[in-house]
Amino acid sequence: MTTSHYIAGRWVEGQGSDCISVNDPALGQPFAELMAASVAQVDQAVTAARGALPAWKNTSASERAAYLRGFAEQLGQRREALITLQMRNNGKPRHEAEIDLDDAIATFGYYAELAEQLPSKNRDVPLAAPGFSARTRLEPVGVVGLIVPWNFPLVTSAWKLAPALAAGCTVVLKPSEVTPLIEQAYGQIADALELPAGVLNIVNGKAETGAALSNHNGLDKLSFTGSNSVGSQVMRSASAQCRPVTLELGGKSAIVVFDDCDVGQAVEWIVAGITWNAGQMCSATSRLLVQDGIADALLPRLQVALENLRVGNPLTEEVDMGPLTSQAQWLKVAGYFATAREEGLQCLAGGKALDRDGWFVSPTLYADVPKDSRLWTEEIFGPVLCARRFATEEQAIAEANDSRFGLVATVCSADLERAERVADALEVGHVWINSVQAVFVETSWGGTKGSGIGRELGPWGLSAYQSVKHVTRCLG
């Protein structure tokens, strides 16, 4: 697999110095490799996007919507191949891989509809002052760089690519070097739809490729999803160019369980929030705040539920949770297990890597974790849940908000008035009440504090790729 870069409507071989090894995490073995794009090829991709911009931004909204619907249809036609690749390269169970694909399809369909509803480019603005007229235009922001992570490939790229194309932007997409294959489907679909050359460009690579893209002075905007450490570098690059940036970064989210909850339902919501995608989610609700009155009943049930999860290879077994996606992440999570032992944390379930081929760890629960523990404060990005007890609603809100992150939270309570009140008090971008983490394309996605800048999905995702221009004319 050498022709892994899609530039100016053509597939080309990588000319960079890095060889990317693509692994099956359930086996801990590579199954493909490709050469990274060179810095010069990144420049070619940006140049191609710049050249395609004038014609693409002047296409009608209905034309762009037709292309977006084409992406949705073509993704559906590739369904089984993409699901299998998501399972093989990410280690996702089949039901998760299916939801990922459905999410990507829904995203392109939604932004096709939104594109068709775009107002005319000119809208009159009433003025209080006489003698002047004014109008406003929504214009594409221009050439955008999209850098996406390895935990939800295909999905995160759809969240960025669909609204960018709907707005009339041209793009350069850089997938993660851990999961570089599945986004190639977008290039194949662009070919099948005869998308104008240069509107979509895809370059694969490691840090050098990402830096070349984020530092490129030919971009008008950069949208990045990933870790806070890399996000800060991306932000520095954007500041040097005075360039707008959207950042979707980390989280250390809380799930708050009040004592009027049904224990069985609460356990279901808690398990889903920490073991979906093996806990490799910025939105993982990895801090469990459980009220005193229910804690003694809930924690043993939760321990049993985690111990009974089926962990294995999704391609050969029916599983509830697959492996961690990379060896680096496996080593990181194993390091937190060692830290927990050093800190003397009470481990009710798991707390170890599994003795088998591949990068597997056990679903883990620690009880009565101190607030100054590294496991309570740091993003682990694995199926590691830390629990603390609380007495009052005010205490729960204070402890949930006591974090440098602010992405999501979940509230579990039979008292819906209280649940809504707590949801309003939490300093995050998205709150679920009595639910698993259902994400809908119509709603917004993004956080507060150290969890990022800006919003994706919904109309906010489209506006992130639009620029507002006002024209004022003297009538005298």
CA–CA distance, 346 with 383 (Å, rounded to integer): 16
The DSSP output letter for 119 is P
CA–CA distance, 191 with 44 (Å, rounded to integer): 18
- Residue 295: CB atoms within 10 Å: 21
For the question of residue 248 being annotated catalytic, the response is yes
Q: Which of 183, 248, 379, 399 is catalytic?
A: 248
Whether residue 279 contacts residue 382, with contact meaning beta carbons closer than 8 Å, is answered with yes
For the question of residue 347 being annotated catalytic, the response is no
Q: Residue 430 is inside which H or E element, if any? A: strand 430-433
Q: Is 416 exposed, middle or buried (0-12, 13-18, 19+ CB in 10 A)?
A: exposed
Q: Which of 169, 261, 282, 386 is catalytic?
A: 282
Half-sphere exposure of 295 (CA within 13 A, CB side): 14
Q: In sequence order, which residues have a C-beta less than 8 Å from that of residue 378 and are 6 or more positions away?
A: 252, 336
Between the alpha carbon of residue 211 and those of residues 15, 225, 234, the distances in Å are: 16, 14, 8
Nearest one of 3, 10, 11 to 34, comparing CA atoms:
3
- Residue 298: CB atoms within 10 Å: 23
Tokens representing 319?
Answer: 């599983």
The residues pairing with 138 across neighbouring beta strands, listed in sequence order, are 468
DSSP 214-226: HT-TT-SEEEEES
- Residue 454: CB atoms within 10 Å: 18
Active site residues: 248, 282
